Amino acid sequence: MFGFLKKKDGEEKKQAGSGKGQQASVYEAKMDLAGLSQAYYEMGKEYEEKGDLSRSRLYLERACTLYSNFDQVYDACQSFMDDCDERIGDLEEADILTNEVLWQVEERAEELTNAQKYLWGMMSLARFQVIFQHLADCENCRILGELSRVLDLLYRTVGQKSVQEDLDYSLSFITRFYDFCDSEDFVNTRNQVELDQGTTLQLFDLNGNSTVTCLHLFVDKFISVLQAGFETVEENEEAEVDFIPCTLMADYYLRNFEEDLRQIPQVQAELERIWSDYEFVRDGASVADVIHRIEKYRRMDILR
């Protein structure tokens, strides 16, 4: 369907500067995380110099994740960490698609009740089920396959009496998931799958735009609301709407395609879903209507 997209052929096109790209590949193969962090930092700088701010952010954020999550990497990367953090901070204010969508989501969320924000987020969460299923068979990634059960438990308790056993399991999942995303398995680029369209999906692609952090916060707050009863939602934890734009899966597309994100049909389709979901809840969709849409999303591969 989207065969006209120009896929990147080989690492030399995928990464800024053949030298830096090859260097990163060597460090990836050896799981030399300190060397890889610096290589990603250098690649991020090169992309920034070329004016490709989205791909610059991709690699600077990967560098930051590596030195932030692992003590031995932190100690080895003192020379460039401050500059990397500063560059990321600047890019968070840049005129790039992911920032624009986040700002728009935050603005439009102000028009919604807290219950509507949670329902909007639930529909976004559902679209991660197939993505997680793709990755669940990677080495030590079985936890990703549990998202399906968590979704079952969460939306079953919306508008109903919570079952403590269900909530305990959901809380256990999100705690273990957060710990998993601090592990070497998460940053191991060999944890990837080849998709039908000839592209690769890496577990590390979930790093972009703080996807795993925002997902954790959304589900953790949602569980807190459900423990008190969904009827308390307006006086309870405010929904983490920053999670909603993460369904764009920017890192995956930036690695696999040459186009600007705005030109990629799958990204355009996902943008339409985000705003359609917003209008759906804003206009008063019932919980039953939202669950019906969620069931459709849980079977949808948004990367195709």
Q: Does 48 have pLDDT greater than 90?
A: yes
| C-beta separation of 104 from 222 below 8 A | no
pLDDT at residue 6, rounded to an integer: 64
- Reported as a single tens digit per residue, the pLDDT across 144-162 is 999 999 999 988 888 777 7
Tokens of 212: 């795993």
- Reported as a single tens digit per residue, the pLDDT across 50-72 is 999 999 999 999 999 999 999 99
Rounded mean pLDDT, 246-268: 96
Residue 154's nearest CA partner among 167, 165, 141, 135 is 167
CA distance readout (Å), 103 to 25, 28, 107: 34, 34, 6
Helix boundaries (H) for the chain: 11-14, 18-30, 33-49, 53-69, 71-76, 78-91, 97-109, 114-126, 129-135, 147-157, 164-180, 184-187, 211-228, 250-256, 265-282, 287-298
Q: Does 12 have pLDDT greater than 70?
A: no
DSSP for residue 158: T
| C-beta separation of 247 from 276 below 8 A | no
Contacts by 89-95, CB closer than 8 A, 24 or more apart: 91/48, 91/53, 91/56, 91/57, 91/60, 94/53, 94/57, 95/53
- Reported as a single tens digit per residue, the pLDDT across 271-289 is 999 999 999 999 999 999 9
| C-beta separation of 205 from 137 below 8 A | no
Q: Does 217 have pLDDT greater than 90?
A: yes
pLDDT at residue 2, rounded to an integer: 43
Ramachandran sector of residue 159 (left: φ over 0; alpha: ψ -120 to 50; beta: rest): left
pLDDT at residue 18, rounded to an integer: 53
The confidence band for 30, taking pLDDT boundaries of 50, 70 and 90, is confident
| C-beta separation of 217 from 241 below 8 A | no
CA geometry: angle 148, 151, 155, nearest 5 deg: 150
What is the length of the chain? 304
Q: What is the mean pLDDT of the chain?
A: 92
Neighbours of 142 (CB within 10 A): 11
pTM of the entire structure? 0.92
